[in-house]
Structure 1
Amino acid sequence: MITIPPLVGMVLSGPALAHVPLLGLWWAGYLAFFAVGLWLRSRRRPRYLPAARTYMLVTAALALVLLVAAPSLAVWALPYAPLVVVTMWCSAHRKDRSLLNDTVTVVAAGLMTAVAYDAGTPGLWGGPGSAVGPPGGSADGALGGWTWTWLVTALVTAYFLGTVLYVKTNIRERGNRAYLVASVAFHGAGAAATAALASAGLVTPAHALVWGALAVRAAAVPLVAARLGRPVRPLVIGVGEIVFSVLVAATLLVG
Structure 2
Amino acid sequence: MGRFHIPSITNFRSDDKVLQVNFGAIFRGVYVSGMSKTGVSENLRFNGALLQCFFSECERHFRFLEQRYGYMFFCGLLEYRNNYKMIKPLNQQEFNGPFMAVTRYEKGEQAFEITYSSSQFLIESHAFYNPIDRFELSEIMTAARKSDPALRGDWGINDASLIEKTIREMAKSFEKHSQILLEPGDKLLNRAMTIRHKQLEQSIREKHKSSIDATCQHAAKAYREKNYRLVIQLLEPVKRYLKRGEIKKLERAKKLLFT
The TM-score, its normalising length taken from structure 1, stands at: 0.26
By relative contact order (CA 8 Å, sep 6+), the higher-ranking structure is: 1
Tell me which protein shows more helix as a share of its residues: 1
